[in-house]
Amino acid sequence: MTDAVSDSAAGDAPPDRRARPQLTILLAGPRGFCAGVDRAILIVEKALEKFGAPVYVRHEIVHNRFVVESLEAKGAVFVKEVEDAPVDRPIVFSAHGVPKSVPDEARQRNMIYVDATCPLVSKVHREVERHHAQGRTIVLVGHAGHPEVEGTMGQLPPGSILLVEKPADVETLEVAPGAPLAYATQTTLSVDEAEASISALKRRFPDIAGPKQEDICYATTNRQASMRAVARRSDAVLVLGAPNSSNSNRLVDVAKDEGVDNALLIQRAAEIDWSRLRGVATLGLSAGASAPEVLVDEVIEACRARFDVTVEEEVTAVETIEFKLPRALVV
């Protein structure tokens, strides 16, 4: 930390150009959109091209207001449930995945639907189905109420999946002695916290089956690793993301874990409390998997108005993954 920043520099009013204190912005790489979010947005855009507006979307396609509003401007209409959309318009299901009852309802209403569930979430759906078919009770490590968790639990009849949010929950799990068990995880958890819950499961149920490969997706893992590297060099951290975005919240947790108490989740540059950047020499900056790069640029520009900014990037992985579009939308 440095004390070189004046009150006005870190306050609301941009300081005189000559008086601007120096600030290094350390960008986490990778950050922002993942392949699943890219695909989900493209699915809505392609559906609008193919079917014309309006196209209905069940829930936020991804957890980001900016993305949702941009798609609304193009003709997408966001609804809570399938029944809120008219039967004669197509409906898209969000990247987080949906319970089986959702496409069932669309079919019953004779609606055209397109599933934008991320293929890495669909992989977890197939995994829990396979364990269920083999007679196992499934323990899902995840956050209650998150749409991905509701979608995964909704792949099987009620009671087939038990939810564990933290290691302590493992001790109170009620399972019949000797019942075959398997576990799966939400794709956007903190790698470290998920590992703690999985270790607790393996301790209590040594025979529990698990995925061959980690369920936490590559994008979550990579963003957390880059945030860790950035946080180690930063006085403060900003993460762009929505309050209901699991992977974005986990990036803030990782920064705090690395000792950066001044780590905040923001949705837009306008939310920055400049007084929190008083005395900050290096600001770590990242974005959750559903936050577009334009919002990162917006933060950098807002900083430039108050500081003499140098931008550096800390790249810990290079991502090349792309997912195919559903066949129905490929022209």
Q: Does the footprint of ligand SF4 cover residue 149 (CB under 6 A)?
A: no
Q: How many residues sit in the footprint of ligand SF4 (CB under 6 A)?
A: 15
Which residue in 44, 162, 156 sits closest to 100, CA to CA? Answer: 156
**Residue 251, interface with ligand SF4 (CB under 6 A)?**
no
Please tell me whether residue 30 binds ligand SF4 under the rule CB under 6 A: no
121 lies in the site for ligand SF4, by CB under 6 A: yes
User: Minimal CA–CA distance to 203: which of 177, 179, 171, 226?
Assistant: 171
Give the number of other Cβ atoms within 10 Å of residue 320's Cβ.
5
What burial class does residue 97 get, using C-beta atoms within 10 Å of its C-beta: 0-12 exposed, 13-18 middle, 19+ buried? buried
| Catalytic residue list contains 258 | no
Task: Check residue 36 for interaction with ligand SF4 (CB under 6 A).
Answer: yes
Name the residue nearer to ligand SF4 (CB basis): 48 or 217. Answer: 217
Among 10, 25, 35, 156, binds ligand SF4 (CB under 6 A): 35
95 is an interface residue for ligand SF4 by CB under 6 A = yes
> Which residue's C-beta sits nearest to ligand SF4?
36
Q: Does 231 bind ligand SF4 (CB under 6 A)?
A: no
Q: E strands along the chain, which residues? A: 22-29, 55-58, 76-79, 91-93, 113-115, 137-141, 161-164, 181-185, 236-240, 263-266, 282-287, 308-315
Binding part of the chain for ligand SF4, among 17-25, 203-211, 213-221, 297-305 by CB under 6 A, reads 213-221
Q: Is 98 in the site for ligand SF4 (CB under 6 A)?
A: no
The number of beta carbons lying within 10 Å of the beta carbon of residue 212 is: 6
Residue pair 101/123 in contact (Cβ under 8 Å)? The answer is no
CA distances in angstroms from 294 to 24, 49, 86, 148, listed in the order given: 19, 24, 33, 26
Quote the radius of gyration of the chain (alpha carbons, Å). 22
Q: Find the part of the chain contacting ligand SF4 (CB under 6 A) among 10-18, 214-222, 251-259, 271-279.
A: 214-222
Secondary structure (3-state) at 21: coil
Q: Is residue 26 within the footprint of ligand SF4 (CB under 6 A)?
A: no
Quick check: 140 binds ligand SF4 (CB under 6 A)?
A: no
**Of the residues 26, 219, 242, 280, which one makes contact with ligand SF4 according to CB under 6 A:** 219
Given the residues 60, 148, 258, 314, select the one marked as catalytic.
Answer: 148
Sole binder of ligand SF4 in the list 5, 25, 28, 37 (CB under 6 A): 37
Active site residues: 148
Under the rule (CB under 6 A), what is the footprint of ligand SF4?
A: 34-37, 95, 118, 120-121, 187-188, 217, 219-220, 247, 289
